[in-house]
Structure 1
Amino acid sequence: MKKVLLTAGICLFAGSVFAQMKNVNAAFNEAKMPKPNFGEARKSINEALKNPDTKDLAKTWYVAGFIENKSFESDYNKTLIKQSVNEKNMYNALLDSYEKYLVAAKLDTMPNEKGKVKSKYLKDIKNTIKNNQPHFWSAGAYFYNEKDYKKAYKMWEIYQDIPKLNFMAKETLNATDSSYMQIRYYAALAAFQTKDNKLAIKALNEAKKDNYEIQDIYYYLVYAYSQEKDTVNQFNTLKEAVEVLGEKANDPKYQFMSQLINLCIYTGKGDDAIAYLKKALEADPNIAEYWKVLAVLYYENKKDEANAVQCLEKAISVKPDYAEAYGEMGRIYFNKAVTASNEASLIKNDAEYQKVRDEVVLVAYKKALPYYEKAHSMKPDENEYMIALRGIYYNLGDEANLKKIEAEMNASE
């Protein structure tokens, strides 16, 4: 009785496998027809892909890939004769074919019970993938233009990955020519557009190795690190960009040097900021904004008024209409007057107090005055300049100009 039941079980199992293989063969035959019904072919093969008896067979996955490839070829051939097709479906079939062929290749190269590999489908899979590789470039471009950046990145990544596949090692595919540099660049741009910063950082660092459109790569990489709040890698990337690009690091479109200096200041690396500013000004001494920032760092960080004033004088000589440089110069002397006034208020002796006020405090206010007046003439709506001028006119006893500046302030409120 047990033997009878066992035999019946074997028959049932064999029958199930046979039924599913009929689906595989039916799908295969349908795809090979002159005018295939891809819907029917997919329906049959999908049943086999889900069935435990056939889902792990190389033939099942090979046929699944074959169907999708035939679907892609059918649409692609129509485009050659200017017939309209659904490009999204066409390129999705290309992708599905590739992914299914990868599974088929893996199953087709597994050793048998004797430890030997006897592949049946690998040759055809290799030829198809090799022939289809250029289409992944077009597929990436299509999805990029459609703003499906993740799919575009995936398509361009596959283009790069094909020569690296183990079973494609002997195929004549050069993974180092210029087309791969371009693809890595475009893939990096697509990754950046996904807003997935980790993916973007990975792709941009890969593209950076090619030194292709390197300014763009550094620019997007710095931005991605900033979005991740990774100031360490942001700083290192900016530093590398400045070292690699040299004078081009000052390009107004990218402003790597400016970004590096700002990041140094933001992260409390004032000495580094000063060093980079000096380096930049050695290369190009005609950047007034750098002279002004260097002056502020000398004044605020180093308490070095002399060098600060010297830098501001350079800024003004380079850019005579630089209101902020005049305002900064005025601020230095204004602060000097305020500090001296506060110290003088502690003096008990009236004569000594008046001497300090006349020879130090008022002298500093008088030095600040022309710079603030110049800055105010260039930017009459800047409140900071008007407040400073009001204080100076008050301390110098200039009632006429005091009333005038107060009237301007009231009018601007």
Structure 2
Amino acid sequence: MKKLLIAVLMMLGTSTVFAGDSEALKAILKAKTYDEAQSLVKSSVNSLANAAEKAKAYNYLVDLAMKKVNHEQEIIAANQLQQQLNTGKYEAYDTLGFYKALEQAFTNAMECDKWDNMPNEKGKIKPKFHQANQNKLVNMRTELINAGQLQPADNKKAAFDFFSLYVDSYSHPLFKEVDRTANPDKYLGEVARVAAVFAFQNKDMDNANKYVDIALNDTASYKEALNLKIYLSSQDLKTKEDSVKFANTLKTLNEKDPKNDMVFSQLAAVLQALGDKDGASKLIESRLALNPNDYSALALKAQNAMNAATQDPALYDVAIENFKKAIAIKPNDNALIYTYLAFSINAKAAACQNANEQKVLCQESVTYLEKARELDPNRERANWTYPLYQCYYTLYGADDARTKEIEALTK
């Protein structure tokens, strides 16, 4: 009896340890083509016995895809040899099929790796396919860039798929052993930015933001990625809540890069548009605390003071002071700053009761307006004509040739 029990237990143990593949997996492994096998995996993946079977099924898809990849690579290599030998004998190869199979290999290898690294029935992780798949694919990632670039202009979805797969594979656990310090990915940021562009063109804003955020982490692509991030965040601002969300995005960017002129200017403009004058003022002052000679912050502080001076004329002095500081930093940058400065001086002169003081202020204003005229003679950015006419009229009278010349330009 004891021997019989031992025999039964041994049989049970053997059947547990050496259980064969499920019928669903057997059917998958019998498939001869990738399409057939993929169809079976999709329809029966939930019928597979465990994570190990799922890993085996997806690895079989990798093998079938790589069979196509290797076949086309052999033709390409043979053609390169024939070219070197100048034989003129070339065999046509399936470029689109090659890249499609490569995409399939990466996609399924990454899915295989997920299941391959799950604990077995004993709670241990013993991947069977991880290293082999890594070795097969690690040096082929750049081919995904080539694939994206070769997609027809009207197939933006396919281009996005290849570029995004390149980016996603960089951080995927399948390639976790790759030494990124010794082998940095010099293409990652730019490819992520391009993926974001295609996602936006496909009206996929979630992925557009996902990949542009990755591009922002790469110094090589940062500048263009930042422009894109701001552009994406500014789309479809239909409600106040949308604008607040945009402002919050800009605040985050400003916190990460507090010296960036574009982010600062955009954020200040959005805060002002939202009526958050206090927020805009604090932003400007925080910027000036970092650098008291910050041109953009001085110009914005002056402009805000000029706008508010209609309610509090004393603020014209604040505007004049800060406009002067700004032009001292960049004397040949912007005709509009000179025009605003002169406008503020003219406003101060208009409120002055002393005729001689008015003329002194107007004379000072003229120097700035003539500089604006020099910088922008066609008035493309700044309309300096009317304030200059006011000054000439006050200083020289209506009949002076200088006054008449400018008067003609105001009409």
Fold match by TM threshold 0.5 = yes
Counterpart Cα distance in 2 of 1:277 and 1:53: 57
The TM-score with structure 1 as length reference comes to 0.64
RMSD: 4.4
Does structure 1 residue 73 correspond to structure 2 residue 80? no
Residues 1:199 and 2:207 are matched in the alignment = yes
After the TM superposition, which residues 83-232 of structure 1 pair with which residues of structure 2 at under 5 Å, given as runs? 85-100=93-108, 115=121, 123-124=128-129, 126-144=131-149, 146=151, 148-163=159-174, 173-174=177-178, 176-177=180-181, 179=183, 181-182=185-186, 184-194=188-198, 195=200, 196-206=204-214, 214-215=222-223, 218-227=226-235, 230-232=246-248
Q: How many percent of aligned residue pairs carry the same amino acid?
A: 17
Task: Find out whether 1:334 has 2:352 as its counterpart.
Answer: no
CA distance in 1, matches of 2:377, 2:70: 69
C-alpha change, 1:320 and 1:24, in structure 2 (3 Å) is closer
* Alpha-carbon contact 2:110-2:172 (below 8 Å) kept: no
Separation in structure 1 between the aligned mates of residue 370 and residue 111 of structure 2, nearest angstrom = 77
Per-residue CA deviation, residues 57-112 of structure 1 (Å, 9 max, x unaligned), is: 74665544322221111112322332653333212212223444566677789999
Name the CA distance, whole Å, in 2 between partners of 1:197 and 1:295: 37
Measured at CA, do residues 124 and 184 of structure 1 come closer, stay the same or move farther in structure 2, by a change above 3 Å? same
Rounded to whole Å, the distance in 2 between the matches of 1:293 and 1:119 is: 60
Judge conservation of contact 1:197–1:227 (CA < 8 Å) in 2.
Answer: no
Aligned to 1:167: none
Amino acid in structure 2 at the alignment position of 1:235:
K
How big is the shift at 1:125? 6.5
Read off the aligned partner of 1:97 and give its amino acid letter: A
Counterpart CA distance in 2 for 1:276 and 1:386 is 35
TM-score, normalised to structure 2, is 0.64
1:233 counterpart residue number: 249
State the shift of 1:237 in Å: 0.9
Structure 2 unmatched ranges of 5 or more: 1-21, 81-90, 237-242, 273-278
Task: Measure the CA separation in 2 of the matches of 1:190 and 1:312.
Answer: 40
What is the match of residue 34 of structure 1?
A: none
CA shift, 1:317, in A, is 4.4
1:397-412, aligned counterparts within 5 Å? 397-401=397-401, 402-410=403-411
CA distance in 2, matches of 1:133, 1:78: 21
Gapped runs of 5+ residues in structure 1?
1-16, 28-40, 165-171, 243-248, 250-255, 341-355
Q: Do residues 259 (structure 1) and 263 (structure 2) align?
A: yes
The 3 A distance-change label for structure 1 pair 198 and 110 is closer
CA distance in 2, matches of 1:107, 1:307: 66
* C-alpha distance in structure 1 between counterparts of 2:43 and 2:270, whole Å: 60
- Residue 14 of structure 1 corresponds to none
Which whole-Å CA distance do the structure 1 matches of 2:307 and 2:139 have between them?
A: 58
Q: Structure 1 residues 55 and 240, CA, compared in 2 at 3 Å: closer, same or farther?
A: same
Would the aligned equivalents of 1:323 and 1:374 in 2 still touch at CA under 8 Å?
Answer: yes
- Taking the TM superposition and a 5 Å limit, the aligned residue runs for 1:257-336 are 257-268=261-272, 269-276=279-286, 278-279=288-289, 281-282=291-292, 291-301=298-308, 303-321=314-332, 323-336=335-348
Amino acid at match of 1:272: K
Q: Which residue of 2 aligns with 1:25?
A: 30
Change (3 A) 1:372 1:201: same
- Give the secondary-structure state (helix, strand or coil) at the position aligned to 2:257: helix
Deviation at 1:187, TM superposition (A): 4.3
Matches within 5 A, 1:378-397: 378-382=375-379, 384-395=383-394, 397=397
Deviates more, 1:373-382 or 1:323-332: 373-382
Q: Is the partner of 1:173 in helix, strand or coil?
A: coil
Does the CA contact (< 8 Å) of 1:141 and 1:152 recur in 2?
no
| DSSP 3-state at the match of 2:383 | helix
- Maintained 8 Å contact 2:385/2:410: yes
Distance 1:408 1:186, change over 3 A: closer
CA deviation vs aligned residue, 1:269-288 (integer Å, no higher than 9, x gap): 34234325535654x67x5x
Larger radius of gyration: 1
In structure 1, the partner of 2:18 is none
How many Å separate the matches in 1 of 2:184 and 2:406? 65
How far 1:296 sits from its partner (Å)? 2.5
Does the 8 Å contact 1:181/1:207 carry over to 2? Answer: no
Distance in 2, Cα, partners of 1:154 & 1:220? 20
- Alpha-carbon distance in structure 1 between the residues aligned to 2:189 and 2:23: 49
Q: Tell me the matched-pair count.
A: 341
